[in-house]
Amino acid sequence: MFTGIIEATGTLTELTLKQGDLSVKVQSHNLDMTDVALGDSIATNGVCLTVVEKYSNGFKADVSNETLSLTRFGDYQVGQKVNLEKALQPISRLGGHLVSGHVDGVATIVAVEANARATDYWLSAPDSLIKYIPYKGSVAIDGISLTVNAVEGNKFKLTIVPHTAQETTIADFKVGTVVNLEVDQIARYLERLIQGTQTTSSESTLTTSLLAQAGFIK
């Protein structure tokens, strides 16, 4: 479990195809590895990866085909800059929101607009995911916990302050950039609870009328 508050950035220094999936090596001079053990989780651009080799300045991890199918890892190149966050400890401050590191899909930057000292980023999300993204809700973009400031159709807006841009990879985002997207977990659990045993299909049946019937909205 993570918070979406990025601890450091790193660089992918090795991407090796290995018996059908991918082995990656991440190097970072800013991430404290002293308390990381083999088997620990590190969110890498929002993807929960398990440390299989550890170094003083980085780690190696394996990326499964499931992860490759849902994230941008299949498109990354050596030299790719990534956001890093070690797994949450019970005594940690929850500065962002609860992030699982289980990416739901990808979103695309469609507009970048100046907003005083901040910058507004508009992203388009798949129809299957936009319903889980409410106004003033939380999303994780490449592992960064962010607040949704507007939703229009299948697009949503994020307002990025200078500190966040400086400490993460957001400064490199431009129109056309594709990012890993994790929606808020509560929405997914709520949908499943409402569904109950009505269906075994993975296709969503969550609708506004169903939420109203269950008493969650008026």
Bridging pattern class, strands 47-55 and 105-115: unpaired
Pick the more confident residue, 129 or 206.
129
What CATH code would you report for 105-195? Answer: 2.40.30.20
Q: What class does CATH assign to 8-86?
A: mainly beta
Pick the more confident residue, 46 or 218.
46
pLDDT at 193 over 90: no
Provide CATH 2.40.30.20 ranges for the chain.
8-86, 105-195
The H or E element containing residue 16 is strand 8-18
Bridging pattern class, strands 144-152 and 155-160: antiparallel
pLDDT at 94 over 90: no
- Predicted confidence (pLDDT) per residue in 145-174, tens digit: 999 999 999 999 999 999 999 999 999 999
- Predicted confidence (pLDDT) per residue in 4-29, tens digit: 999 999 999 999 998 889 999 999 99
